[in-house]
Amino acid sequence: MKGTVVATWIKTMENLHGEELVNEAKRESSWNTGLMITPLMNIEDDMAHDLVNTVAAKANTSVSELWQKIGQENINSFSEWFPSYFDGRRLHNFLEMMDTVHKQLTEMIPGANPPRIIPDIPEEDTLRLTYRSKRGMFDYFLGLLKGSGVYFDKDIKVNELSRDTSSEQQELVVDVIFPEPIKTSKTFSFNKLLSLGIFKSIESKLGLAVTVTTTIIGFILAGTDSQLWLPPALGLLNGGIGYLVMKGLFKPFGLLNQELDEVGDMNLSNTISVDSGDEFEEVFEKINKIKARVREDILFLKGGTDDMYNFTGELVDLTGDMKRVSDNIAVVVDEVAQGATEQAEETENSAYIVDNNVREIENLVETGSQSKEQLEAAVTSIKESAGEVKQVNQMINDIKEAFGDVNDRGIQLSHQVEEIMEIVDTVSEIAEQTNLLSLNATIEAARSSGDSRGFAVVADEIRDLADDSHKAGEEIRHNLESFTREVQALVDGISSQFSNLEESNKALDKVTAANQESTENIEDASEQVMEIVDNLRNETQKISEVIEKLNSLAAIAEENSASSQEMSASVSDYADKIKEMTDYIQQTEKLVENFQESLTDYST
């Protein structure tokens, strides 16, 4: 398909459904969004149809309805792009030339296969159009007819006669009925009468007319006796008859002069059909062919100049955009050149600063290496201290266990003293019972006879022994209670010290654990510090390599600065050339416009 036609379709769809929807359809369909359409471009049918189908789907309308709307609205778009095809033209002339226009618009596109729109005028008010195309875009064609009627303000009727989609060249035949006659026909009855169906030349008709009339008049005058005035009368009569016959036969000359005047006025739009039965038919037919041929050439020139004018206008806009872009590029290049110079200076300064920083880092690495050795010694000392703390902790644990044994034995001793006191209590009770028994014995001895005196003495001794036993038991009890209190005090003291020792042991355990954790953390930190020192050493080496590259970059930056300055000069030259090209294009546009104005004198 011709690029101009597809561009017109796209513009029409943008007018119908908005530019945003059409752009979305371009992205979603197989359309190349970066395509710049030129007049002679050949665009694939599938890509154009896919775009229209996608727009129809997004606009919630049928494809058939959209094609009819495109056809109807395209008339307005075509009139803007090709005003020469529309200005000063009548609708039937416009439709009759469509087949020629299609061929002219596409003949410069390789492989183009435009549709045929073959006109015929079967009746004075009817234009029969036969649309043939392998694409079968019948809805689009019907939309074009409807839009044409609206554009030219003609109340036409379109009757579909036949539709054939079975063959490769699909065909649609319609009759376009106009409210007034569209065909100019002129019949010259006198010329037809003298032709008798066999005489086509003017000479033969003139000879026939003079011969017949002279013969008839001769027979009429043959019965008279006026011999003197007969010859002059016949001469005058023949001359008059010849004049009248010639005037009748050459009546089409008036129409011919009118046609020549119209051609002289560059009006080639009318086609006249003459029915005279003589050579005038051939003359007018040749004039019609000449006018048709000239019409085709003028149409081609008009269409080409319209196409050239519009494309030149777009080219002017494009060169304007290019000039603005080149101006922006020139500004950017100047900024880049200035930036490149500053970058070269900053690169040198950065290389100098980085070099100093590397030296400081190297000093830090050296100091870090010494600190690493000191830290390793400190870690070793901390590990040894941690081992000694563990040993002290173990000794305290042993003392704690010994104190535990003493505490247990003190408790056992306290229990044994309690058992001894129970024995002493038993002895005291026995002494009291013995004392009571000796008292009873003394009483009984006093009641008895003198033979019982010895028994009384024994009873007294037993009582004395019981008293002594009681006193001894009390004293033992008293001593055991004192001993028990001392033992209890010792046990309490040992228990108190054991508790303190146990708390101290717990605290020492915590200290030992914390010391161990700190030792491990310090060891980890030491390893990290050593790793950092090693990394610093490696990074220092890498930074040294970076410094070398920075020095290289500084040299490159200086070269870039020089190149940017050269580029700035080139861009300035490019901008001047674009301005010069814009001037030439504007001059071309003016020439095309003048050519268009000169072609408006031709009415096709």
Summary count for the chain: helices (H), strands (E): 13, 6
Angle at 39 between CA 36 and CA 44, to 5 degrees: 70
Mutual orientation of helices 63-81 and 279-447 as an angle, nearest 10°? Answer: 120
Angle at 34 between CA 32 and CA 35, to 5 degrees: 70
Give the highest mean pLDDT range of 229-243, 450-464, 481-495: 481-495
Task: Give the span between the Cα atoms of 301 and 104, in whole angstroms.
Answer: 10
Which tokens sit at 138? 């019948």
Task: Give the span between the Cα atoms of 442 and 460, in whole angstroms.
Answer: 7
Count Cβ atoms below 10 Å from residue 283 Cβ, excluding itself: 16
- pLDDT reported for residue 316: 65
Write the pLDDT tens digit of every residue in 477-525.
777 777 777 767 766 766 666 666 667 667 667 766 766 676 677 667 6
Chain-centre distance of CA 499, in angstroms?
Answer: 79
Beta bridge pairs of residue 442: none
Domain ranges across the chain: 3-182, 186-277, 326-592
End-to-end CA distance of the chain: 26
Residue 176 reports pLDDT greater than 90: yes
Residue 602 reports pLDDT greater than 60: no
- pLDDT reported for residue 114: 77
Write the pLDDT tens digit of every residue in 336-376.
667 666 666 666 676 667 667 667 766 666 766 666 666 66
- pLDDT reported for residue 35: 77
Beta bridge pairs of residue 176: 127, 158
Write the pLDDT tens digit of every residue in 192-206.
666 666 666 666 666
Angle at 318 between CA 315 and CA 319, to 5 degrees: 85
* Cα-based torsion angle of the residue sequence 204, 209, 215, 219 in order, rounded to the nearest 10 degrees: 170
Residue 236 reports pLDDT greater than 80: no
Residue 181 reports pLDDT greater than 80: yes
Query: How many C-alpha atoms does 47 have within 13 Å on its Cβ side?
Result: 16
Given pLDDT bands bounded at 50, 70 and 90, which one contains residue 79? confident
Residue whose tokens read 């609205």 = 73
Which tokens sit at 130? 């036969």
Residue whose tokens read 């010994």 = 402
Which tokens sit at 79? 């009139």
Give the highest mean pLDDT range of 429-433, 544-548, 561-565: 429-433
Any residues with CB less than 8 A from the CB of 392 and at least 6 apart, and which? 508
Residue 319 reports pLDDT greater than 60: yes
Percent of residues in the chain assigned helix, strand, coil, to nearest 5: 80, 5, 15
Which tokens sit at 288? 């019609």
Residue whose tokens read 């004049």 = 243
**For the residues 435-456, what does the mean pLDDT come to?**
67
* Burial class of 305 by CB neighbour count within 10 A (0 to 12, 13 to 18, 19+): buried
pTM: 0.42
- pLDDT reported for residue 257: 75
Which listed CATH number (1.10.510.10, 3.40.50.2300, 2.40.50.100, 1.10.287.950) goes with 326-592? 1.10.287.950
Residue whose tokens read 């008798």 = 196
> 3-182 has which fold?
H-NOX domain (3.90.1520)
**Cα–Cα nearest to 299, from 98, 65, 149:** 98
Given pLDDT bands bounded at 50, 70 and 90, which one contains residue 472? confident
Q: 277 in the Ramachandran plot: left (φ > 0), alpha (ψ -120 to 50) or beta?
A: left
Amino acid of residue 119:
P
Cα 415 to Cα 340, 421, 480, 483, distances in angstroms: 102, 10, 12, 12
Count Cβ atoms below 10 Å from residue 501 Cβ, excluding itself: 19
Residue 503 · residue 381 · CB < 8 Å: no
